Amino acid sequence: MRLSVVDNYQMLSDQFRRQLSQEAKQWRREGLINDSIYEKLAERYQFYELDRFIRNRFILILLGLGSVLLGLGIITLVQANWQGLPRVLKVMLLLSLLIAINRAGFYLWQRQTNLWQRRLGKALLFLGALVLGANMAVLSQMFYQSGQLYQLYLVWGLGVLAMAYSLRFTWLGILSVLLIGLGYVYGHRQQTVVTIAELSWLQLILQHMPVLAGLAFVPLAYWCHSRWIFRLGAIAVVYSLEANLIKLNLLASQAWIAIIACALPPALLWAYRDSMWKITPHFQSFGNTARTLAITFLGLQFYLLSFYWWWNSSPPTVVSIEEAQPLLLPTLSNVLVLGGLTIWAWLRLVQQIDLTTTFVASIIAIGALVPYWHLSISNLPIAAVVIYNLLLFVLAIGLLREGLEQGERRLFWGGIALLIMQIFTRMIEYETDLLFKSLVFFLCGFSVVAAGFWFERNLRSS
């Protein structure tokens, strides 16, 4: 449904329109604008409708407060007689509440000409998604359907995901990512090794979450034009892949698992482009968001692996081949799918490779080869610490350089944050004199202030 020009201006902030109305009146009194220009502004920004909007908002607040009190009264009444109600009536009450909230929300959400009705409709739709989970929990208890907590989160998240696709509603998409993510976290902790015949469809979702999360959330991000859904979906893909690789801890392939866990996520995120899916220009672009996530992953990886205790500790507990066999095929299939997508994306990227991409590819390769060498050839406790500290330093300098060239504050301050975090951590990790620590912290603080002033001055002059 297309919005008219007047409807678009109704979606502007009421505070901005009130301030503009007051300023326009002042301009007319001072003679800066004439009556004709004032009338055009009033018609364009709907000055004469502000009082009606304020009155409608006040009525909406009263209706909302009254509805909350009525709802609490009904809930209290039902709770007092809940045990005495027959099961059929309980089911009808729960389903009626769910349908009524979603139906009212959908009706108000369709009212494009009134901003407050659309907001109320969105709030009711979001409330309906929450009520869906509550109904599922209560109905499972009523019918004695015992199950683990992750199953509730997964089914609830899938239901909200379907609502987000059908309504093209960003907040429902974010809620579905969070619910399915919680289901994966709880399920990954509780999941025991089972045979193929014992697998349920929810356990299959857990095992294939890296691929399924990408298939579910990335198209939804384009459909809803939401960077947050894309960010959370990409994090879900990377987290589930890393968790599956850690759980598949075979003695004979620890080195290969390490190199895949270190190299595959940042390589996939950096090579990601919207053109891979033939995205039309009117869709939101997420290429820069994916590259930002790749740099964030590399920063966290280099920072965590720069600690000496990580390389000097005993190797992790391994499971036997028989115990890990049921996890081998799903994890291998996830790696093959995401790895094939990464190779295809890099083959497309090589055609237009630049210095920044070459730099990122180099640090990804070095950061992945070090744990492989440590686990398969010879131990590198000291050399690995030095290498990862150098990689973290080089990454920070690269962010500073890009921030200065592009005039981007977030890149510049990201590099500053990495440098300060590295210096601060090394001072805390190793035994050094207190006077030397205080001197280093003083120099860091002075350098941050000086760098900030210098960057802002150059940014203004450019």
Alpha-carbon Rg for the chain in angstroms: 28
Angle made by CA atoms 259, 261, 262, in degrees to the nearest 5: 65
- From CA 20, how far away is CA 5, in angstroms rounded? 18
CA pair distance 100, 360, nearest whole angstrom? 52
**Amino acid 229: pLDDT:** 93
Where does residue 283 fall: left (phi above 0), alpha (psi -120 to 50 degrees), or beta otherwise?
Answer: beta
* Alpha carbon distance 76, 80 (integer Å): 6
pLDDT band at 364 (very low <50, low <70, confident <90, very high): very high
List, for residues 382-421, the tens digit of each pLDDT value: 888 889 989 988 898 888 888 877 777 788 888 888 888 8
The span from the CA of 248 to the CA of 318, in Å, is: 9
pTM: 0.76
Q: Mean pLDDT: which of 49-63, 72-86, 150-164 is highest?
A: 150-164
So what's the pLDDT on residue 28? 81
- Is 425 buried (19+), middle (13-18) or exposed (0-12) by CB count in 10 A? middle
Q: Quick one: DSSP state of residue 12? A: S
pLDDT at 287 over 80: yes
Tokens 């790696």 correspond to 335
The span from the CA of 281 to the CA of 242, in Å, is 33
Per DSSP, the residues of 259-271 read HHHHHHHHHHHHH
Q: Above 60 in pLDDT, residue 30?
A: yes
- How far is residue 437's CA from residue 420's CA, in Å, rounded to a whole number? 13
CA terminus-to-terminus distance, the chain: 43
Q: Which of 170-174, 254-258, 351-355 has the highest mean pLDDT?
A: 170-174
| Nearest-angstrom CA–CA distance, 178 and 174 | 6
Mean pLDDT of 7-28: 67
Instruction: Report the C-alpha gap between 45 and 54 in whole angstroms.
Output: 15
What average pLDDT does this structure show over 1-19?
51
Please give the sequence-ordered ranges of beta strands (E in DSSP) within 48-149, or none if there are none.
none
Residue 107 to residue 118: CA distance in whole angstroms: 9
Task: Specify the DSSP class assigned to residue 377.
Answer: T
pLDDT digits (tens, 9 = 90+) for 226-244: 899 999 999 999 999 988 8
Q: Token digits for 373?
A: 């060498």
Residue type, 294: A
CA 124, 217, 275, 238 torsion: positive or negative?
Answer: positive
Q: Measure the CA–CA gap between 395 and 15, rounded to whole angstroms.
A: 43
pLDDT of 204 above 80? yes
Q: What is the mean pLDDT of the chain?
A: 78
pLDDT at 195 over 50: no
Alpha-carbon distance of 190 to 434, in angstroms, equals 46
User: In the predicted model, what is the mean pLDDT of residues 440-461?
Assistant: 71
pLDDT of 247 over the 90 cut: no
What's the pLDDT score for residue 8?
A: 43
Contact 414, 403 (CB under 8 A): yes
Q: In the prediction, which pLDDT does 217 show?
A: 93
pLDDT of residue 197: 42
275/79: higher pLDDT = 275
Q: Which residue has the tokens 């089914």?
A: 155
Domain parsing of the chain, residue ranges = 1-82, 183-191+203-364, 380-462
pLDDT score recorded for residue 112: 60
CA 152 to chain CA mean position, Å: 21
Q: What is the pLDDT of residue 48?
A: 65
Name the token pair of 154. 């997964």
51-65: pLDDT as tens digits: 666 666 666 677 667
